[in-house]
Amino acid sequence: MDIVTFENVSKTYRMGQVDVAALNQVTLRIPQGAFTALVGPSGSGKTTALNLIGCLDRPSTGEVTVAGKRVDRLDRREAAVFRGEHLGFVFQDFNLLPVLTVFENVEYPLLMILDIPKGKRKPEVERALAAVEMADQARKYPAQLSGGQKQRVAVARALVGKPVLVLADEPTANLDSHTAQKVVDLMKRMRDEFGTTFVFSTHDPRIMEQAELTFHLEDGRLMDESVAGTEVRHD
Amino acid sequence: MIKTMRLALKNLMRYKRRTLLTGLLIGVGVVAVMVFVGLSGSFKQAIVGQITDSFLSHMQVHRKGYMASVDNLPLDRMMPAQAYQRLSAILSKADGVEAFSPRIKFGAMLSNYVQTTNVRLNGVDPEKEQAAAPLLSSRVLNAARTDVLLKPGDVLLPELLAKGMNVTTGDTVVLVANNKDGSVNGMTFMVAGLVEGLMGPGGRDGYMHIDDAAALLRMEEREVSEVAIRVRDFDGLDAVSEALRSEIEPILNQQNKPMFEVHTWEQLSPFYNVIRMIDIMTLGIKVILIAVVLISVLNVMMMSVYERVREIGTLAAMGTRPGRIMALFVAEGFSLGLASSLAGAAVGLGILMVLRITGVEVAFGGANQVFVLAPTISPGEVVSACLIVLAVSVLASVQPAAKAARLEPVEALRHV
């Protein structure tokens, strides 16, 4: 079953007097559970594609289906509800809330988005923190953590609500190679443990190699896709 | 709600100095309002109490048309005996009326056998007058009598007039007056005390027994110039006066015209305008408080939204609904207003308590009238000041909060 499908999706931005095509007639399918990379140089459309999958933006044309639901015409509130219930996000800059402790950051989606009662929240947060090996840092604030630790907390926050799909925009861009590898290993382990589909954008070749499914974008077009070494060209 | 408030508090404490400074500004505003309301309220209470309890009483009833010529003390516009009897019967049964006192007011010539001058006099029933204006006796200096305000044959003279005439308690004076027919009569009286002056109408009048006044004016039947009325509950004065008006103003005389007119102290004393000025100033202070809170909270919240655009984008991306993002920011404004107003109210109450213990001396209407104010504030005023701050804080937060809720997540996440 495909968790994400794009059918002839285009996204055009207006920059001054000029229309810029960030995505141009892209059609793709991401099967459930796939550890998927969107790759390409800067400006290739990776982030735009992630934003469309994440219901953060709407395509100019085409259809986007996520977890069996057409999401390309959701209004702001519907999109927010959908994101809260089905998606998790990991950001390049971690984007942890500085006023909250590690525990509270991971608790946030359960508390403020999914309205899970306190009794059920605590074990879920503890489980997520244990999974990313951050249980012993639960009382610390983000400012007290290293970049790698922050990203592990961000992964725990993305996973705690048991989303079907986690979207990560350049999750290793601000990490050294050793830490980046640890974060990728962690995401893979989480995929194996929770069965969550991971879709991430990257231009780091070492990270790309570890994806099971890779979509190569250039100038807003899908140039090719490869499934664990098998390449399919889109001309 | 609680979780939103908790997160709002954490966000407020993110910029401690800014939050504390804004809170301090709002708190000082609340303190200023409370101290001003407390001081002005007790000032009003003291002055109004002095005016009503020592002379005017709370209300007065006159024969219709009397007030139009009140400065002349007209003897031909007095309330006939039958009319007074009828009014007296009504007042005796009226709800809310504690006491009433008939007065005969007239002008006379005062002589100490050497000099002569004019004097305004009130003929009163001492017991009834004491009940209607209980502080009158406190204005009597060098009183000859301690058991009663005055007795027949006594006169209480205005202090300054007595000094000018070189008359003091125990001296004998002659009072000469014209009655309404123009005939002149004179009687001797003993000065039983000097009445301290008071601002407002009648504040420099003398007093004598009502029987003496009737005799001096050669009244064949007892007429009265006015009836002073004291109500049980001063705060319920309007209700009592309205009830009384509706009962006695429709009463007609033989010419089929209204017989009585009712006036409250507010209509009788020019000091009421000072009271109104104080009320307007209080309103002005509250408007300043509103402006301070509005500008402070609006500024803090706008800065807060601007500084946290990326964070708002993150919250939205994670699936936080726009309404909840808005609630988060409104809760910050509310919390800031709540904490500041409670702190301000506590400090304000503390200052008022200190002022109440030490007392605040205010001279009014002359050096001999010094009031010691003991400022208090009603719980309603404290709650009202806090509610104003809360309401304005929420109001000031709405626009920045709505802006935060309207941010497009994809744009917000790109914000640097």
Interface probe with B: pick from A11, A93, A111, A112, most Cβ of B within 10 Å:
A112
pLDDT at B368: 58
Report pLDDT digits (tens) over B58-88: 999 999 989 888 888 888 899 999 999 999 9
Confidence label for B365 from pLDDT (cuts 50, 70 and 90): low
Q: Residue A41 is part of which domain span?
A: 2-233
In angstroms, the Cα distances linking B54 to A26, B11, B137, B160, B353 are: 93, 58, 8, 17, 28
For the record, the structure tokens of B43 come out as: 């000032």
Report pLDDT digits (tens) over A149-173: 998 899 899 988 889 999 998 888 8
Closest-CA residue to B175 (of B256, B230, B121, B238): B121
Q: Do residue B314 and residue A95 have CB atoms under 8 angstroms apart?
A: yes
Confidence label for A175 from pLDDT (cuts 50, 70 and 90): confident
Residue type, B314: T
Residue of A nearest to B15 (CA): A99
pLDDT at residue A46 above 80? Answer: yes
B387 contact partners, CB below 8 Å, separation of at least 6: none
pLDDT at B71: 80
**Mean pLDDT across A224-235:** 65
Exposed, middle or buried: residue A127 (CB in 10 Å: 0-12, 13-18, 19+)?
middle
Interface probe with A: pick from B12, B14, B321, B415, most Cβ of A within 10 Å:
B321
**Mean pLDDT across A136-154:** 92
pLDDT at residue A235 above 70? Answer: no
Question: DSSP per residue over A46-87, as a string?
Answer: HHHHHHHHTTSS--SEEEEEETTEE-TT--HHHHHHHHHHHE
Question: Which domain CATH number covers A22?
Answer: 3.40.50.300
pLDDT at residue A229 above 80? Answer: no
**B136 phi and psi angles, rounded to 5 deg:** -60, -45
- Looking at per-residue pLDDT, the higher value among A179 and A80 belongs to A80
Confidence label for B398 from pLDDT (cuts 50, 70 and 90): very high
DSSP-assigned beta bridge partners for residue A231: A226
Report pLDDT digits (tens) over B177-209: 998 888 899 999 999 999 987 765 556 789 999
Our count of domains for chain A comes to 1
ipTM for this prediction: 0.89
Q: Do residue B311 and residue A97 have CB atoms under 8 angstroms apart?
A: yes
**Mean pLDDT across A133-160:** 91
A91 vs B: CB within 8 A: yes
pLDDT at B120: 93
Residues B146, B126: Cα–Cα separation, whole Å: 12
Residue of B nearest to A77 (CA): B321
A82 vs B: CB within 8 A: yes
A103 vs B: CB within 8 A: no
Collect all residues of chain B within an 8 Å Cβ-Cβ radius of residue A155: none
Residues B41, B52: Cα–Cα separation, whole Å: 16
pLDDT at B313: 92
pLDDT at A227: 78
8 Å CB contact between B217 and B104: yes
Count of CA atoms in the C-beta half-sphere (13 A) of B78: 22
